[in-house]
Amino acid sequence: MRGAGGLVERATNPGDDVGLKFGAGGPVELKYNVDDANANALMLLFSEGGAVDVPVFVLGDVTADKDLGWYNGVVEPQLAIVDDDGDSAVGLGFNADDDARIILKGSGVLTLPAVTLGGTVTLNGQSFDAGAGTALITSTGAQGGLQLQVTNDGVYGVVLHAYQNSASPLAGDRIFELIAYGEDSGGTQTLYGRYSVRIVSPTDTSESAEYVWEGISGGSNNVSMKLQTSGVLSVDVAGSGSAAQVDLFDQYDDALVLKQGIQLNNRELLADIGILTRKDTGSGYMMNLQPMVRLLAGGIYQTRQMLEDKIAELEDRLIRAGI
């Protein structure tokens, strides 16, 4: 065997080890080892390395010396497979004792088979790219899935960012969705519910959106409720399959609110809106017969103006009482 410094040493008998020395470098020992009962090993052994003389074995067609950069400062053995011009490499080695690493230098893509992680994956500001597919996280545990955790003492906790990067946004675009699938009795994957944020208007400076809740009903998808960012609420009250606008507070307040006040024993609410009157002395309430009759009849009993007048009257009483 010959090196830059000429022929130094070679095996003279079968089974001899070979010591190599190249100019001022080396020595390197080439051995064939059969001590392992299950393997025959061709071994390339370097002398103990240091921070500036890391033992590195390079495989490749490199025409000039290259500083690969990724083994600077380590002392454990490294293996580098280098491309023709020496600007890209795949490295295997150790950062320190028992601390293995895989290094990619260049713009290539690393393709891995199934991998079992034994530690934390640190992204360093990078991202996962699922291409045209969907990233899938599977779990066999009860209520297993995806958990997000933030460790800081600031105002904000976990934030889930959803961004549709579209060059041509349109009204109706579903820019964010949460979809719930399950199986039916026939074992078919079925969409049972969906929540989405949709664009109403993408016009610059006048953008608007709506929130839509959908669920399966009678085997078909049903829009259960919509809430526009302007505050307009639509609900499928009758189960017709389409949501209709609901005016929570229009010119009249109907008896349903008051009926709930009675069911929840909320006498203060009923007194505020005129169904009951607080006694001037002692404790308790007196019923105002006419509004109560209208309430029990299920009709509309007071206009918004009457309610506002009652509220103004009560506020005036509080002021005069010095409360």
pLDDT tens-place string over residues 193-233: 999 999 999 999 999 999 999 998 888 888 888 888 777 77
- Residue spans per domain, the chain: 2-105, 174-246, 252-320
Question: Residues for the chain: how many in total?
Answer: 323
Q: What are phi and psi of 16, to 5 degrees?
A: -70, 145
Average pLDDT value for the chain: 76
Which of 253, 247, 248 shows the shortest CA–CA distance to 273?
A: 253
| Alpha-carbon span 109 to 124, nearest angstrom | 17
pLDDT in tens, 125-172: 888 888 899 988 888 999 888 889 999 898 989 999 999 999 999 999
Identify whether the C-beta of residue 307 lies closer than 8 Å to the C-beta of residue 301. no
Instruction: Express each pLDDT in 278-305 by its tens digit.
Output: 777 666 777 776 666 665 555 444 555 6
User: At 97, phi and psi to the nearest 5?
Assistant: -55, 125
- Note the Cα 308 to chain centre separation in Å: 47
231-259: pLDDT as tens digits: 777 777 656 667 777 654 444 444 555 55
DSSP annotation of 248: S
Burial level of 226, CB count in 10 A (0-12/13-18/19+)? buried
Of 70, 72, 60, which is closest to residue 105 (Cα–Cα)? Answer: 70
Q: Is 198 left (phi over 0), alpha (psi -120 to 50) or beta?
A: beta
- Interatomic CA distance for residues 214 and 93, integer angstroms: 53
Write down the pLDDT at residue 201: 94
